[in-house]
Amino acid sequence: MKTPFIIYCRGVGLYALLTLPAMITPPMYLISLLYVLIYGWFAWFVFTLLYMVINNLPFDFVPKLFALFIAVVIPVGFAYHMLGILGIEDDVWGSPFIIFPFAAVIAGWISVCVSKEKIRTSCYLQEESTSSR
């Protein structure tokens, strides 16, 4: 449960760094960060659920890592879509700010790559618990 939270927190920090060029218009950058801090919890929740499911699958490290890369895209899209559902933005998918979810996905992928040793360890711990039965 701790690993997906660490991946999420690192991803938020990386997102802040990746979107730093948006400081050309500081209000846009600050609003983007505010949205990540408020609506990113939807992404954290969905990613945590997907992480727990993927972690319990009897796959090796590489398929799990690939599945986690896909699992980053789904929660980011869900959180971005929630902006439209909750009435923050009228047409989120037609918005000129569509670049921000892409930055969030890239930040999430980097964060997953940084956590790959922790993910690899969880694969082997699961194998040992299965073989000791």
Contact call for residues 41 and 9 (beta carbons, < 8 A):
no
Q: Where do the domains of the chain lie?
A: 2-131
Contact call for residues 24 and 89 (beta carbons, < 8 A):
no
Q: How far apart are CA 71 and CA 69, in angstroms?
A: 5
CA 56-61-64 angle, 5° bins: 55
Q: What pLDDT is recorded for position 125? A: 61
Q: How far apart are CA 44 and CA 47, in angstroms?
A: 5
Kindly give the confidence (pLDDT) of every residue in the chain, 133 residues in length, as a single tens digit, with 9 standing for 90 and above. Answer: 788 999 999 999 999 999 999 888 888 889 889 989 988 999 999 999 999 999 888 888 899 999 999 999 999 999 998 888 887 777 778 877 788 899 999 999 999 999 988 888 877 665 555 555 5
The 3-class SS string of 79-93 reads HHHHHHHCCCCCCHH
Tokens 């956590």 correspond to: 115
